[in-house]
Structure 1
Amino acid sequence: MSQDVRVAPGFINGDVSFWMRDIGLPTQRASLAGDIEVDVAIVGGGLTGLWTAYYLTKAQPELEIAIVEKYFAGFGASGRNGGWMSAEPAGQFRRYAAAHGAESARAMQREMFTAVDEVVTVAQQEGFAEDLVKDGLIHVATNGPQLARARAHLDELREQGWGKDDVFELGVDDLRERVNVHGMRGGYWTPHCARVHPAKFTRGLAAVVEALGVTIYEGTTAESIAPRAVRTDHGTVRAKYVVQALEGYTHSLPRQERRLLPMNSSMIVTERLTEQQLDAIGWRGAELVGDMAHGFTYMQRTADGRVALGGRAVPYDFNSSFDERGRTADRSVGMLSKRLGEVFPALRNVQIDHSWSGVLGVPRDWCAAVNFDRDAGILSAGGYVGHGLSGTNLAARTLRDLILGEQTDLVRLPWVGRTARNWEPEPLRWIGATALYAVYRAADGRENHSQSGKTDVLARAANVISGR
């Protein structure tokens, strides 16, 4: 551990996530005990799988549904994320519009707005809304190029269907009423975002789904998916429909190693802050906060008065490897701690209680997709590029309609039937991802000293190469 990072007594690196540590690791449910036959088999006990089971059961309670999960429900990104339930699109508007037209892409954006409210409503009705607060999302610019990007992005959002009540530009004084980020020059706020405690939320949804009659088999590894069948290390699940919902773990299946890039996202969380520290950072609400840097930083003020901060410190490990338990490279902990001090100088000496990492699934075109092979009875959803807390809900309702044969507006959204080419083979994949994020970090450093309002040329080149 870097000597300039103060860690609290009992500091934990890994152990899945602070969120899981906060409420305690669950007792694992029973594993599959042999071959079974059901109506719908879902591979993956994260939010895509849980929401799909929820909506299918609500629509047709008589369906027999089984979820197969290697560890426990919420083990992956669903229980490790930054707790941003944002309405920002799980993909790139320009790509969806190019394939299906601008109005189709705007329809998807409207559904993302709806998804946030849908999740909040269901969580409140079903009793798992603890610590869930819809207080919006702030993006802060801290230099000239970032401010120019923020304003340009506001124009883009308005063209994409964001109305006057969906997003608001904020000046420095407006921002200071909500949060006091060092060096802020301006930014914007949208009400379409809710703060979530990922472990409480995911575990609560799993309990609801189980109470509805869905069986969740934990400690059961899916080894392959075939037409109307899932082969596991504990037996085969045969089903009319198979839903693949593995997101960043998709590479674990045969012949899918390059379909989604498992991108690391690492987080740290501080000790509980004092009243004086909270006054210094001026952050008393439940807004989520992010910056406009290329090496994006995302933050949450937790319900118990901590700051959780995340970013792409070490974005990718060779050959899609990563520590499944969530251990974070010491270099990443140091980088994130340094960033915390830059954003909030008053927290430079605060102790860090926990660090952890998880992976999100990134398609080669940076656009999420929902797919259905009717002949094989296999469906899939994923590639949310960091917008999974709301994207999973929209995907699950879409999967429900596809399975039930409903011709709704959801099945006509532009991410349905979308495919992207595979990522490059190794070592090109690792070289590319590592080099690109090194370039983005360099561009951020140069922009901090820039006198212009233009995005650094290094970042512009990296965007072209990466397809972002």
Structure 2
Amino acid sequence: MDSPVSGPRDLSLWLDQVVADGDPLTPRAPLDGDCEADVVVVGAGLTGLWTAYYLTEADPEVRVVIVEREFAGFGASGRNGGWCSALFPTSADAIAREHGPEAARALRAAMRDTVVEVGGVAAFEEIECDFAYGGTVTLARSAAQLDRARADADAAARWGDEVTLLDAAQARERVGATRVLGATFTPDCARVQPARLARGLARVLERRGVQIAEGTTALRLSPRAVVTDHGIVRAKHVVRATEAWTARLPGTGRDVVPVYSLMIATEPLPTSVWDRLGLARGETFADHRHLIVYGQRTADDRLAFGGRGAPYHAGSKIEGAFDRDRRVHAHLRAALIDLFPDVADFAVTHSWGGPLGIARDWQASVGLDPRTGLAWAGGYVGDGLATTNLAGRTLADLISGHDSALTRLPWVNHRSPRWEAEPARWLGINAGFAVAVAADAEERLTRRPSALATALGRFTGH
């Protein structure tokens, strides 16, 4: 394990670039004693920022206070893979089994529209966040992965999604990776520099009069009030927008688990290399393995690449030291070179990570209890960059009392079961990671779809 983070370069490439842009990440003033608001939001990540954005869009007079322990964009919002995608952690098939096919189609349509909405807001508010609507190429590099690619393409049309099966030549034309047998392509994803998006939204909110109290720790969320280490904020509505950090709050320690995803980024690569690697249209990329990997070509011509594989830490611990795991970062570099041997001689300049939130049934949710005024959103399982926007729009409608198409989507007011107590939680989650690794190894050996993966899919809500 590496030492804890010490500055923006260690937090992420994205936050390091924000500092280079001239934003020193100096925390805003903390809360100055007790105050009142119409809405208090706990967490200045994208969920909280989007919620405040749409509340103030609908009613410029609404009083919103955001309390944040660190600074806006400190968590997953400033460290993620930069995929503004229509992905949702629960499959459309699983949503349809519980809520019916029309509800599943409505949610899929809302997610596709959300990608466009994020780009539209960024353009309207003049937030320079490297938004490029390039879609996603998901490579198939084994016979079993090609089977999954075909199945994904066949199933997509049922839910209104556009997923095209590419042959090997078509896939290599977009992504110059090794051992490519084919791929799927969906246009419903944009490459984004996420920290620039989060920091830009925070500046927009300040101009609208929203108070963002940084360096302010929420100690307890209760109906109509949030108790912090700098005073109490009393409000009609309290929004919990803490994602993985929900595990630290009293009373919600088993609502989600914080699971780490880690990333690396290379130095800027020369044009001669990019001529072979492709990604010329701002595509994001992954492959159809079970242990998730994801990447993008950044606006300054780096390869940013991440994946799962870091262990879950007992007791839902979140520590800065967990962001930097030499073993996992080495595996990521090896996986990147396996995909793109041309990058082997180029330096990795940034290595980082952070926790994401997972609910027990792998279902993200958003909701409001009208009796208490307590609202929440989260459990995005790493698919949050776009989903936070949908959450913010939905929370604004719920809080404002608007009966809209968004408030009738099937994830609204969904209640996930709580996670098991330790040590069962630690054993189960890390066993799931081991099964994903074993399933990929099984497929490499047998060249057939893994039987282990079927059991894993049931566990993850697919």
TM (norm. structure 1) is 0.94
- AA aligned opposite 1:41: V
Query: Residue 461 of structure 1: which of 444, 455, 462 is its match?
Result: 455
Distance 1:14 1:94, change over 3 A: farther
CA shift at 1:14, angstroms?
Answer: 6.9
Match of 1:35 in 2: 34
Pairs within 5 Å for 1:313-462: 313-324=309-320, 327-452=323-448, 455-462=449-456
CA shift at 1:98, angstroms?
Answer: 2.6
Match of 1:276 in 2: 272
CA shift at 1:326, angstroms?
Answer: 6.3
Match of 2:207 in 1: 211
Distance 2:354 2:254 in 1: 18
Match of 2:122 in 1: 123
CA shift at 1:466, angstroms?
Answer: 4.6
Confirm whether residue 15 of structure 1 aligns to residue 10 of structure 2. yes
> Are the counterparts in 1 of residues 94 and 461 from structure 2 also a CA contact under 8 Å?
no
Match of 2:166 in 1: 170
> Are the counterparts in 2 of residues 92 and 366 from structure 1 also a CA contact under 8 Å?
no
SS in 1 for 2:174: coil
SS in 1 for 2:285: strand
- What fraction of aligned residue pairs are identical, expressed as a percent? 46
Question: 1:416-465: per-residue Cα shift (whole Å, max 9, x none)?
Answer: 1101111111111111111221121122122123333xx21122233334
SS in 1 for 2:323: coil
Confirm whether residue 134 of structure 1 aligns to residue 129 of structure 2. no
Match of 2:53 in 1: 54
Q: Which runs of 5+ in 1 are unaligned?
A: 3-10
CA shift at 1:386, angstroms?
Answer: 1.7
CA shift at 1:360, angstroms?
Answer: 1.2
TM (norm. structure 2) is 0.95
Distance 1:197 1:102 in 2: 34
- AA aligned opposite 1:275: T
> Are the counterparts in 2 of residues 14 and 328 from structure 1 also a CA contact under 8 Å?
no
Q: Which runs of 5+ in 2 are unaligned?
A: none
CA shift at 1:270, angstroms?
Answer: 0.7
Distance 1:327 1:113 in 2: 31
Confirm whether residue 111 of structure 1 aligns to residue 110 of structure 2. yes
Distance 1:339 1:378, change over 3 A: same
Distance 1:461 1:97 in 2: 20
Q: What is the aligned residue count?
A: 455
Match of 1:294 in 2: 290
Distance 2:214 2:304 in 1: 29
Distance 1:85 1:326 in 2: 25
Pairs within 5 Å for 1:136-285: 136-162=135-161, 166-285=162-281
Pairs within 5 Å for 1:18-97: 18-24=13-19, 25-97=24-96
Distance 1:90 1:459 in 2: 16
Distance 1:288 1:435, change over 3 A: same
Distance 2:231 2:333 in 1: 45
CA shift at 1:369, angstroms?
Answer: 0.6
> Are the counterparts in 2 of residues 168 and 190 from structure 1 also a CA contact under 8 Å?
yes
Distance 1:87 1:463 in 2: 20
CA RMSD of aligned residues (A): 1.8
CA shift at 1:312, angstroms?
Answer: 0.6
Question: 1:204-263: per-residue Cα shift (whole Å, max 9, x none)?
Answer: 111111111111000000011000100001110000111110111101111111101111
Further displaced range: 303-312 or 281-290: 281-290
Distance 1:442 1:451 in 2: 13
Distance 1:40 1:467 in 2: 33
Match of 1:7 in 2: none
